[in-house]
Structure 1
Amino acid sequence: MIPTVTQQLEAIRRRLAETVVPELPESAEFAHEQVLLIDAALGFLIETHEHEYRYAVVEHHDYRTVLGELARLGGTTDRPVLDALDESGPGETDAVIPLPELTERTRTMKVLVERLYRRLSADGVAGANELMADLAARQVGREASWFRQAGFTLPGSAHIGSVLEMNP
Protein backbone atom coordinates (compact mmCIF):
# COMPACT_ATOMS: atom_id res chain seq x y z
CA MET A 1 0.00 0.00 0.00
CA ILE A 2 1.01 3.60 -0.50
CA PRO A 3 2.48 5.20 2.62
CA THR A 4 0.33 7.89 4.19
CA VAL A 5 1.52 11.48 4.37
CA THR A 6 2.11 10.98 8.10
CA GLN A 7 4.29 7.94 7.44
CA GLN A 8 6.27 9.87 4.82
CA LEU A 9 6.81 12.84 7.15
CA GLU A 10 7.84 10.52 9.98
CA ALA A 11 10.34 8.79 7.66
CA ILE A 12 11.84 12.14 6.65
CA ARG A 13 12.10 13.13 10.30
CA ARG A 14 13.83 9.83 11.17
CA ARG A 15 16.30 10.17 8.27
CA LEU A 16 17.10 13.69 9.37
CA ALA A 17 17.76 12.57 12.96
CA GLU A 18 19.53 9.30 12.15
CA THR A 19 21.47 10.20 9.00
CA VAL A 20 21.93 13.94 8.61
CA VAL A 21 22.43 15.14 12.19
CA PRO A 22 25.22 12.67 13.04
CA GLU A 23 27.17 13.86 9.97
CA LEU A 24 27.10 17.51 10.97
CA PRO A 25 30.28 18.72 12.64
CA GLU A 26 29.75 20.16 16.11
CA SER A 27 31.11 23.47 14.89
CA ALA A 28 28.24 23.79 12.37
CA GLU A 29 26.00 25.66 14.81
CA PHE A 30 23.87 27.27 12.12
CA ALA A 31 23.25 23.91 10.44
CA HIS A 32 22.23 22.42 13.80
CA GLU A 33 19.79 25.31 14.35
CA GLN A 34 18.30 24.73 10.91
CA VAL A 35 17.89 21.02 11.60
CA LEU A 36 16.01 21.88 14.80
CA LEU A 37 13.72 24.23 12.86
CA ILE A 38 13.10 21.57 10.20
CA ASP A 39 12.43 18.98 12.92
CA ALA A 40 9.96 21.32 14.63
CA ALA A 41 8.19 22.00 11.32
CA LEU A 42 7.94 18.27 10.58
CA GLY A 43 6.59 17.65 14.09
CA PHE A 44 3.95 20.34 13.53
CA LEU A 45 2.94 18.85 10.19
CA ILE A 46 2.77 15.32 11.59
CA GLU A 47 0.52 16.49 14.41
CA THR A 48 -1.80 18.75 12.46
CA HIS A 49 -2.14 17.79 8.79
CA GLU A 50 -4.61 14.96 9.46
CA HIS A 51 -6.94 17.49 11.08
CA GLU A 52 -6.61 20.39 8.64
CA TYR A 53 -9.82 19.76 6.70
CA ARG A 54 -11.88 19.16 9.85
CA TYR A 55 -10.42 22.36 11.33
CA ALA A 56 -11.51 24.28 8.22
CA VAL A 57 -15.02 22.75 8.34
CA VAL A 58 -15.49 23.58 12.03
CA GLU A 59 -14.18 27.11 11.57
CA HIS A 60 -16.38 27.62 8.48
CA HIS A 61 -19.51 26.54 10.36
CA ASP A 62 -18.63 28.64 13.38
CA TYR A 63 -18.27 31.84 11.34
CA ARG A 64 -21.25 30.99 9.12
CA THR A 65 -23.44 30.52 12.21
CA VAL A 66 -22.36 33.80 13.79
CA LEU A 67 -22.69 35.67 10.47
CA GLY A 68 -26.24 34.32 10.12
CA GLU A 69 -27.15 35.24 13.69
CA LEU A 70 -25.71 38.75 13.31
CA ALA A 71 -27.56 39.19 10.00
CA ARG A 72 -30.84 38.15 11.63
CA LEU A 73 -30.26 40.44 14.62
CA GLY A 74 -29.68 43.44 12.38
CA GLY A 75 -32.11 42.46 9.64
CA THR A 76 -29.31 43.04 7.14
CA THR A 77 -29.87 43.47 3.43
CA ASP A 78 -26.12 43.69 2.84
CA ARG A 79 -25.63 41.76 -0.44
CA PRO A 80 -22.14 40.35 0.37
CA VAL A 81 -23.45 38.98 3.68
CA LEU A 82 -26.53 37.45 2.07
CA ASP A 83 -24.43 36.02 -0.78
CA ALA A 84 -22.02 34.44 1.71
CA LEU A 85 -24.91 32.88 3.60
CA ASP A 86 -26.44 31.59 0.34
CA GLU A 87 -23.23 29.83 -0.74
CA SER A 88 -23.15 26.12 -0.20
CA GLY A 89 -20.48 24.83 2.09
CA PRO A 90 -19.33 21.60 3.66
CA GLY A 91 -21.76 19.62 5.76
CA GLU A 92 -21.39 19.90 9.51
CA THR A 93 -20.22 16.31 9.72
CA ASP A 94 -17.68 16.54 6.89
CA ALA A 95 -14.37 15.08 8.02
CA VAL A 96 -15.83 13.91 11.33
CA ILE A 97 -14.01 10.58 10.91
CA PRO A 98 -10.31 11.09 11.70
CA LEU A 99 -8.07 10.61 8.66
CA PRO A 100 -6.14 7.59 10.05
CA GLU A 101 -9.43 5.81 10.77
CA LEU A 102 -10.81 6.64 7.32
CA THR A 103 -7.57 5.40 5.71
CA GLU A 104 -7.80 2.13 7.64
CA ARG A 105 -11.46 1.68 6.66
CA THR A 106 -10.53 2.26 3.01
CA ARG A 107 -7.70 -0.28 3.25
CA THR A 108 -10.17 -2.82 4.63
CA MET A 109 -12.52 -2.10 1.72
CA LYS A 110 -9.66 -2.56 -0.76
CA VAL A 111 -9.06 -6.05 0.63
CA LEU A 112 -12.78 -6.84 0.51
CA VAL A 113 -13.12 -5.50 -3.05
CA GLU A 114 -10.26 -7.69 -4.20
CA ARG A 115 -11.65 -10.75 -2.42
CA LEU A 116 -15.16 -10.27 -3.83
CA TYR A 117 -13.85 -9.49 -7.31
CA ARG A 118 -11.78 -12.68 -7.37
CA ARG A 119 -14.83 -14.73 -6.43
CA LEU A 120 -17.12 -13.04 -8.97
CA SER A 121 -14.48 -13.21 -11.68
CA ALA A 122 -13.89 -16.91 -11.05
CA ASP A 123 -17.66 -17.47 -11.29
CA GLY A 124 -17.76 -15.55 -14.59
CA VAL A 125 -20.15 -12.88 -13.29
CA ALA A 126 -20.72 -10.28 -16.03
CA GLY A 127 -19.60 -6.75 -15.28
CA ALA A 128 -17.03 -7.55 -12.58
CA ASN A 129 -14.04 -7.07 -14.89
CA GLU A 130 -15.35 -3.74 -16.17
CA LEU A 131 -15.97 -2.45 -12.65
CA MET A 132 -12.44 -3.36 -11.59
CA ALA A 133 -10.87 -1.93 -14.74
CA ASP A 134 -12.67 1.39 -14.21
CA LEU A 135 -11.66 1.42 -10.53
CA ALA A 136 -8.04 0.67 -11.42
CA ALA A 137 -7.96 3.48 -13.99
CA ARG A 138 -9.31 5.99 -11.46
CA GLN A 139 -6.84 4.78 -8.81
CA VAL A 140 -3.89 5.07 -11.20
CA GLY A 141 -5.01 8.60 -12.09
CA ARG A 142 -5.22 9.59 -8.42
CA GLU A 143 -1.86 8.04 -7.55
CA ALA A 144 -0.10 9.53 -10.58
CA SER A 145 -1.39 12.96 -9.58
CA TRP A 146 -0.63 12.50 -5.88
CA PHE A 147 3.00 11.61 -6.56
CA ARG A 148 3.57 13.76 -9.67
CA GLN A 149 6.06 16.03 -7.88
CA ALA A 150 8.10 13.03 -6.73
CA GLY A 151 9.09 12.10 -10.28
CA PHE A 152 7.85 8.52 -9.98
CA THR A 153 4.71 8.87 -12.05
CA LEU A 154 3.42 9.24 -15.56
CA PRO A 155 4.54 12.34 -17.44
CA GLY A 156 1.80 14.94 -17.73
CA SER A 157 -0.10 13.79 -14.65
CA ALA A 158 -2.73 16.34 -13.64
CA HIS A 159 -2.65 18.31 -10.39
CA ILE A 160 -4.29 16.29 -7.60
CA GLY A 161 -6.95 18.98 -7.06
CA SER A 162 -8.23 18.69 -10.61
CA VAL A 163 -8.24 14.89 -10.47
CA LEU A 164 -10.24 14.90 -7.25
CA GLU A 165 -12.74 17.33 -8.79
CA MET A 166 -13.24 14.90 -11.67
CA ASN A 167 -13.37 11.84 -9.42
CA PRO A 168 -14.97 12.78 -6.10
Structure 2
Amino acid sequence: MNTRTRVALVCVLNLGLVGIAVAGQLSARITGEEIRLRVEPVDPIDPFRGAYVDLSYTDISRRTTKETGDAYVSLTRRGPVWEATSVSTDPPAEGPFLKCHDDGWRLSCGIESLFLPQDRARQIEAEVNGGDAVAVVKVDSRGNAALVSVQAR
Protein backbone atom coordinates (compact mmCIF):
# COMPACT_ATOMS: atom_id res chain seq x y z
CA MET A 1 0.00 0.00 0.00
CA ASN A 2 1.50 3.32 -1.00
CA THR A 3 1.63 6.46 1.16
CA ARG A 4 -1.25 8.25 -0.60
CA THR A 5 -3.54 5.28 -0.13
CA ARG A 6 -2.66 5.09 3.57
CA VAL A 7 -3.28 8.81 4.07
CA ALA A 8 -6.61 8.57 2.26
CA LEU A 9 -7.62 5.56 4.35
CA VAL A 10 -6.72 7.35 7.59
CA CYS A 11 -8.74 10.42 6.49
CA VAL A 12 -11.78 8.31 5.63
CA LEU A 13 -11.58 6.46 8.96
CA ASN A 14 -11.31 9.75 10.88
CA LEU A 15 -14.33 11.17 9.06
CA GLY A 16 -16.24 7.99 9.90
CA LEU A 17 -15.38 8.31 13.58
CA VAL A 18 -16.50 11.94 13.62
CA GLY A 19 -19.75 10.90 11.96
CA ILE A 20 -20.36 8.23 14.58
CA ALA A 21 -19.61 10.69 17.40
CA VAL A 22 -22.20 13.23 16.24
CA ALA A 23 -24.79 10.85 14.75
CA GLY A 24 -27.23 11.16 17.67
CA GLN A 25 -27.13 14.97 17.71
CA LEU A 26 -27.53 15.14 13.91
CA SER A 27 -30.40 12.67 13.94
CA ALA A 28 -32.20 14.68 16.62
CA ARG A 29 -31.66 17.99 14.80
CA ILE A 30 -32.80 16.63 11.42
CA THR A 31 -35.63 14.24 12.31
CA GLY A 32 -36.52 15.22 15.87
CA GLU A 33 -39.74 16.59 17.25
CA GLU A 34 -39.41 20.00 18.92
CA ILE A 35 -40.34 20.04 22.60
CA ARG A 36 -39.98 22.58 25.40
CA LEU A 37 -38.64 21.68 28.85
CA ARG A 38 -38.44 23.80 32.03
CA VAL A 39 -34.88 24.68 33.02
CA GLU A 40 -33.09 26.06 36.05
CA PRO A 41 -29.51 27.35 36.35
CA VAL A 42 -26.57 25.33 37.59
CA ASP A 43 -23.40 27.32 36.86
CA PRO A 44 -22.57 30.87 35.91
CA ILE A 45 -20.24 31.73 33.07
CA ASP A 46 -16.92 29.95 33.59
CA PRO A 47 -13.84 31.95 32.58
CA PHE A 48 -11.99 28.73 31.71
CA ARG A 49 -14.68 27.22 29.46
CA GLY A 50 -16.00 30.39 27.84
CA ALA A 51 -19.49 31.79 27.57
CA TYR A 52 -21.95 29.02 28.20
CA VAL A 53 -25.03 28.38 30.28
CA ASP A 54 -25.09 25.11 32.22
CA LEU A 55 -28.69 23.94 32.61
CA SER A 56 -30.56 21.62 34.90
CA TYR A 57 -33.95 20.35 33.80
CA THR A 58 -36.47 20.99 36.56
CA ASP A 59 -38.14 17.59 36.65
CA ILE A 60 -35.48 15.47 34.90
CA SER A 61 -31.95 16.16 36.16
CA ARG A 62 -32.53 15.12 39.77
CA ARG A 63 -34.15 11.81 38.89
CA THR A 64 -32.15 8.61 38.91
CA THR A 65 -32.68 4.88 38.40
CA LYS A 66 -30.29 4.04 41.28
CA GLU A 67 -28.16 2.19 38.71
CA THR A 68 -25.41 3.60 36.53
CA GLY A 69 -25.73 3.32 32.76
CA ASP A 70 -28.40 4.16 30.20
CA ALA A 71 -31.66 5.59 31.48
CA TYR A 72 -34.80 6.49 29.56
CA VAL A 73 -37.01 9.40 30.61
CA SER A 74 -40.62 9.20 29.42
CA LEU A 75 -42.15 12.58 28.58
CA THR A 76 -45.71 13.86 28.49
CA ARG A 77 -47.05 17.22 27.39
CA ARG A 78 -48.47 19.51 30.09
CA GLY A 79 -49.62 22.68 28.37
CA PRO A 80 -46.80 24.42 26.51
CA VAL A 81 -44.03 22.34 28.15
CA TRP A 82 -43.17 18.66 28.46
CA GLU A 83 -42.52 16.94 31.79
CA ALA A 84 -40.89 13.69 32.85
CA THR A 85 -43.35 11.02 33.92
CA SER A 86 -40.95 8.16 34.69
CA VAL A 87 -37.35 6.99 34.43
CA SER A 88 -36.45 3.44 33.50
CA THR A 89 -33.49 1.34 32.43
CA ASP A 90 -35.55 0.15 29.43
CA PRO A 91 -36.82 2.34 26.57
CA PRO A 92 -40.58 3.02 26.72
CA ALA A 93 -42.84 1.29 24.21
CA GLU A 94 -44.46 4.54 23.07
CA GLY A 95 -44.36 8.29 23.32
CA PRO A 96 -41.42 10.65 23.24
CA PHE A 97 -38.52 9.95 25.59
CA LEU A 98 -34.96 11.05 26.29
CA LYS A 99 -32.04 8.64 26.27
CA CYS A 100 -29.79 9.72 29.13
CA HIS A 101 -26.86 8.46 31.16
CA ASP A 102 -27.38 7.88 34.88
CA ASP A 103 -24.18 8.33 36.88
CA GLY A 104 -25.99 7.49 40.13
CA TRP A 105 -26.21 11.15 41.09
CA ARG A 106 -28.04 12.82 38.22
CA LEU A 107 -29.19 12.15 34.69
CA SER A 108 -27.21 13.58 31.80
CA CYS A 109 -29.04 13.72 28.49
CA GLY A 110 -26.47 15.67 26.44
CA ILE A 111 -28.54 18.86 26.53
CA GLU A 112 -27.09 20.44 29.67
CA SER A 113 -24.78 23.09 28.15
CA LEU A 114 -25.50 25.88 25.70
CA PHE A 115 -22.55 27.83 24.28
CA LEU A 116 -23.29 31.42 23.30
CA PRO A 117 -21.62 34.78 22.75
CA GLN A 118 -20.68 36.38 26.11
CA ASP A 119 -23.47 39.01 26.18
CA ARG A 120 -26.17 36.54 25.10
CA ALA A 121 -24.99 33.99 27.71
CA ARG A 122 -25.42 36.60 30.46
CA GLN A 123 -28.91 37.45 29.19
CA ILE A 124 -29.99 33.77 29.06
CA GLU A 125 -28.47 33.17 32.49
CA ALA A 126 -30.52 36.06 33.92
CA GLU A 127 -33.71 34.66 32.35
CA VAL A 128 -32.97 31.17 33.68
CA ASN A 129 -32.14 32.57 37.15
CA GLY A 130 -35.45 34.42 37.07
CA GLY A 131 -37.24 31.08 36.75
CA ASP A 132 -38.90 32.05 33.51
CA ALA A 133 -37.11 30.06 30.82
CA VAL A 134 -37.63 26.94 28.77
CA ALA A 135 -35.21 24.94 26.66
CA VAL A 136 -36.20 24.19 23.09
CA VAL A 137 -35.00 20.65 22.43
CA LYS A 138 -35.35 18.36 19.41
CA VAL A 139 -35.84 14.68 20.24
CA ASP A 140 -35.78 11.85 17.70
CA SER A 141 -37.57 8.48 17.89
CA ARG A 142 -34.56 6.82 19.61
CA GLY A 143 -34.40 9.38 22.42
CA ASN A 144 -31.42 11.31 21.05
CA ALA A 145 -31.73 14.98 21.98
CA ALA A 146 -30.21 18.23 20.76
CA LEU A 147 -30.51 21.56 22.58
CA VAL A 148 -31.63 24.19 20.08
CA SER A 149 -32.11 27.27 22.26
CA VAL A 150 -33.23 28.65 25.60
CA GLN A 151 -36.11 31.12 25.59
CA ALA A 152 -38.04 33.22 28.07
CA ARG A 153 -41.59 31.93 28.52
* TM over 0.5, shorter chain: no
Structure with the higher fraction of residues in helix conformation: 1
**Whose radius of gyration is greater, 1 or 2?**
1
Question: Which TM class, normalised by the smaller chain length?
Answer: under 0.3
Q: Which has the higher contact order (CA 8 A, sep 6+)?
A: 2
